[in-house]
Each structure stands twice: as structure tokens, then as C-alpha cells.
Structure 1
């Protein structure tokens, strides 16, 4: 009986691991598809305007001082990745050049030039968009540090109070909290991969995610294993 139970637990562990790998693979494929679609399909002018509106919307959300720090950090990171790395000079600018070469391959390349220009422009816009959102997330994290610490303290003290009280162990609640936390993490990853059609609301997505993550962390700590 002992060996049978051990084999069943081992089978469940492997099955759960395989399911997680499938979920991660699907998420990874979705992100790649979303990024590729933005690079290939979006009109460069519309994409740039969309990003400008997103950056402007964050000004109202985080205030002038934080916004200046945000834009400065995003510009520095963008300049390092695209310009100072040589990626723009040795790749983006090279493939964008017009040519009068009569070679058939050169003519084919010339026909594809509008698509190439769209791709090179959208790569730069997408890079700045991701950097802007990453820095915006860090700004919100800095703003919410007091709230996160307060939630952490509440969780610890709640656990210490509950740890020695009689009652059922809340295994179901732990599973719900884990799933909600996983959902928030997936949502943040998707947020980085998708275009923002609602810039005013999009500026608060990191704030909402961090707010709920802090609260769920507090509830997770408070719901940890009881002593009796």
C-alpha cells in the first residue's frame, strides 16, 4: 500500500508538471505572436501615436516628478539598447536604405522596402513601449512600498494570531490565493505584450496588479499552516 501511494503521488506530480509546462508554452507562444503582430501589422504612425498617448496618460497617473523620472529612465534604457548598442546604425538603418542596384535580389528587396520600414519603425516603438511599461511598473512599486509593507505586517500578525487558534486548515483558500496570484502574474506579462488601446486605463494596470499582489501576499501569509 505504501508503494502504491508513493507511485500515485509521483504520477500526480509528473502530470501537474507537464500541465504547467503546457501552460507556459502556450503563454510563450501567445506573447511571441502578439509581439510579432504588432511589428508586422500595426501602422507605424498609429503605433507611434498610441505610444505617445500612453506616455502622456501616465503623467496624470503618477504626477510630474515621477513622470519626469519615468521618461528619463525609459529614454536612457532605449538609447542603450537601440542606439549605443549599434543595433540602429548597423541593422535598422542598413536595411532601410533605398537602392538603385539592378540586381534581381536588390529589386526584390526594394519592393519589400515599405514592409521593412514598417518593421524597423515598429521594432523601435515596441522596444520603447516595453521599457516605458517596465519603468512605470517600478515607479508604481516605489509608490506602493508603504502599502506593501503594511500588508506584510498585517499578514504576519494575522498568522501569529491564527496560528494557535482552533479551526480547520484553510487549504482551499491557499489554492485560491495561489491561482489569483498566478493570474495577476500572467496578466502583467500579457500587459507587456499587447498594445494599449485605452492609455488612460492602461497607466493604472501596474498599480492595480501590485495592489492586489500585496493584498494576496498578506492573505497568503495569514493563511499559512496553523500549529493546532
Structure 2
């Protein structure tokens, strides 16, 4: 294979999420099967790739992943959730710092904004802690009066937020964000329709003040 063809192939692969996940999953599956002394499929199904178009979608996805151990019943609080970013953020926040291995939470979008996620650290920690308490089996469906202010800024109703904490992965397929953001991307890609637009309108579009 010539140098030009080789470079073209690698450019295609570096922008191909399916190729990357196939390589990653194969190595993990081989290690796991070797440890268990077995053969066959290791992963239950295909991976899902979703484009997060705005900070509402980003916040919902972050919290959904951070709350996985609580939903699964293997942790009672975010700080007890092993191998999660929220646990790392909580442990370093005690000393007034942020983990170096994660993108920092740098506050709301503004001019000359530093590299990082567009949320305040204390607001995000409060949001995940509050959400985790509502997901507790003994409080299923309960809505506390002390709702984190970040939900007001994002324009997401508390009931919709808690629904997203339980169903984010199953409700959205490819594009995730406000209905306006999804329509803009569809227009850019010459798509007339995208799966999940109605849910984006209902759960991630700003609610009236």
C-alpha cells in the first residue's frame, strides 16, 4: 500500500467511531474471555453514539452516566459510586481543587471562556446529589422543594430532568439537544427528519419562565 493510500485509510479510520469501538471492544473482550477461560460474545449489543448539541444535552448525559451506579443499586450516594467522574470531582472538591484527569467545570459560557465544561462545579455537584436522592428506591417519583438552581438556568423542568436520569440512553438515538438545535443540524445535513425530535422538544427544549 502506497503512502498516499495508507494516509487516506488512516484518516478515514480516525473519523470512524465504529472502527474505533470495534478495536476497543475486541481487545477488552479477548482479555475478559481469557480471564474467565471462555469463548464467544462478550458485549450484549452494539454501542450507541449520540451527538450532544447543547449544554442541556451535555448536562443530562453527564448526570445520567454519573448516576449509573445509583440506578443499578450498587451505590447509595454519588461519593460512593466507584469509577465515576462524579466521585473524582467530589474527592478533589473537598480540597478546593478539580481532578486533573477530567475537563474542569468552568462556569457558564462567556467571552474568553477557558477550556472546560460550561457549569459551575458546586452547581453540578448539587444537581447530581439532588438527582441521586430522587432516584433512591424509597423516594421514587418524589420531587424535593429544594431544586438546584442550575435546572432553572437550563430551562428543564424537575420532572423532565428526573425522567432523563432514568431514560436518557433509551429515548435518544443520534442527535440530542433542544428541538431548535436538532433542526439546525438536520438542515445542515439535508435531513428532513431525525428520530427523537419529539422527545428533544418535550424534555430538552427551554420551558417557559
TM-score (norm 2): 0.28
Q: Which structure exhibits the higher relative contact order, with contacts defined as CA atoms closer than 8 Å and separated by 6 or more residues?
A: 1
Instruction: Determine which structure has the larger helix proportion and give its number.
Output: 1
Based on CA coordinates, which of the two structures has the bigger radius of gyration?
Answer: 1
